[in-house]
Amino acid sequence: MKIQYENLTIRQAEVTDARQLTAWWNNGAVMAHAGFSNGLGTTEEEVIKGLGNGRMVIEESDRLIGECNYRNVADGVAEIGIKICETDCQNRGVGRKVLSMLIGWLFKNGYSKIVLDTNLANTRAQHVYESLGFRKVRTNIDSWKDQLGRLQSSVDYELVENDFVSYINDVLKIEEALRLRRFDGNYDFAIEWYQDPETVLLVDGKAEPYSYETLTNMYNYLNGKGELYFIEVNENGKWKPIGDVTFWQEDMPIVIGEREYRGKGIGKKVVSALVERGRTMGYDKLYVGEIYDFNIGSQKCFESVGFRSYEKTEKGSRYILEL
């Protein structure tokens, strides 16, 4: 099998991958969440013997960055696992995309349910699984011992196709001439937005223009936290990016970077579309981390959709919407 999306590839593990797999499996930092803080202590020969049976590797731009697997556990039920092993590829949204690729492929190939488990302490993984639509079915307290003899707890999850929220749908249509396009790593055009002191003041509370490095760090952070989109309008048959928005349950930062598009109701339409997305994902509440007191436009935008202030901050307020 081979699944591809953008610069990501999932493929069957081969003998030539065994050296890298061995290095990962013997690395305690990589294997800690699986209970092997000292690594597996395996050999390349042993790894080669275990290839096949749903063992796959993950590549980004032809570079090995992790592994995943699946196995049939019942009629129409597959159990999956994933590790993004290279640290520079973590917290960038890669795991969500890879899981979306694998899960989508499994549903298309006859499976009706996907199951997995994770360490109770691995809250980051739990957040990712739940954002994809997985439902927590069981928490197993002190159910197993790790390599060092310490009791560990796990969480069991399951996912059916109707609940699946894919992270590789590139476009969220709002209107014929307004859409959200998933962040793809290309953002040179956005540096002008964040070098505008007025825009940065609304975002950060201080008018310090961004460097390209700062912009890169911001987008990497947001892409790791939730669904990062560019807001695009259609002009004369061509899509033009005018701002960005990131969606996750705890926050929804939005910027209309092109000044001429402010005050036209675009922000409200974008927020309304993402509120509906939150409903489809099963959220009962959505939050906005902070809106500054001087940012009247943003306050009005979120309040018009139903958000209300519930807590004061040093410079503004936090907002909540009960769905």
**What CATH number did the domain enclosing 313 receive?**
3.40.630.30
- State residue 186's pLDDT score: 86
Task: Based on the fold, state whether residues 219 and 317 are members of the same structural domain.
Answer: yes
| Rounded-to-integer distance, Cα 6 and Cα 167, Å | 12
| Rounded-to-integer distance, Cα 109 and Cα 105, Å | 6
Task: Based on the fold, state whether residues 214 and 258 are members of the same structural domain.
Answer: yes
Work out how many domains the chain is built from and give that number.
2
Which tokens hold the place of 145?
Answer: 């011992």
291: nearest Cα among 280, 282, 300: 300
User: Which domain-ending residue is among 132, 163, 194?
Assistant: 163
Task: Based on the fold, state whether residues 147 and 267 are members of the same structural domain.
Answer: no
Residue at token pair 């006859």: 110
- State residue 23's pLDDT score: 97
- State residue 42's pLDDT score: 96
Amino acid at 247: F
Give one DSSP letter per residue of 76-120, joined into a string: TEEEEEEEE-SGGGTTSSHHHHHHHHHHHHHHHTT--EEEEEEET
User: Which domain-ending residue is among 128, 163, 198?
Assistant: 163
Q: Give the sheet arrangement for strand 135-145, strand by strand.
A: 2-5, 8-12, 55-60, 63-74, 77-84, 113-119, 151-160, 135-145
The low-confidence residues of the chain, meaning pLDDT below 70, are 169
H or E stretch at 273: helix 266-280
Task: Based on the fold, state whether residues 204 and 144 are members of the same structural domain.
Answer: no
- State residue 44's pLDDT score: 96
Contact 93, 132 (CB under 8 A): no
- pLDDT per position as a tens digit, 43-70: 999 999 989 878 999 999 889 999 999 9
How far lies 131's CA from each of 175, 191, 227, 311, in Å?
25, 29, 10, 25
Indicate the angle between helix axes 123-131 and 94-108, nearest 10 degrees: 50
How far lies 304's CA from each of 74, 174, 240, 308, in Å?
48, 17, 26, 9
- pLDDT per position as a tens digit, 181-222: 988 788 999 999 999 999 999 999 999 999 999 999 999 899
Name the residue range of residue 298's domain: 171-322
User: Which domain-ending residue is among 163, 183, 218?
Assistant: 163
Which tokens hold the place of 4?
Answer: 């591809």
Phi, psi of 281 (to 5 degrees): -85, 0
- State residue 72's pLDDT score: 94
199: nearest Cα among 255, 262, 260: 255
Task: Based on the fold, state whether residues 178 and 159 are members of the same structural domain.
Answer: no
Contact 195, 187 (CB under 8 A): no
Task: Based on the fold, state whether residues 155 and 183 are members of the same structural domain.
Answer: no
Task: Based on the fold, state whether residues 81 and 180 are members of the same structural domain.
Answer: no
- State residue 281's pLDDT score: 76
Strand-pairing partners, residue 116, are 157
Contact 196, 258 (CB under 8 A): no
- State residue 256's pLDDT score: 97
Task: Based on the fold, state whether residues 154 and 23 are members of the same structural domain.
Answer: yes
Indicate the angle between helix axes 266-280 and 296-305, nearest 10 degrees: 40
| Rounded-to-integer distance, Cα 255 and Cα 258, Å | 9
Which tokens hold the place of 64?
Answer: 């090995």
Task: Based on the fold, state whether residues 19 and 134 are members of the same structural domain.
Answer: yes
Task: Based on the fold, state whether residues 142 and 286 are members of the same structural domain.
Answer: no
Phi, psi of 82 (to 5 degrees): -150, 145
Contact 258, 243 (CB under 8 A): yes
| Rounded-to-integer distance, Cα 69 and Cα 79, Å | 8
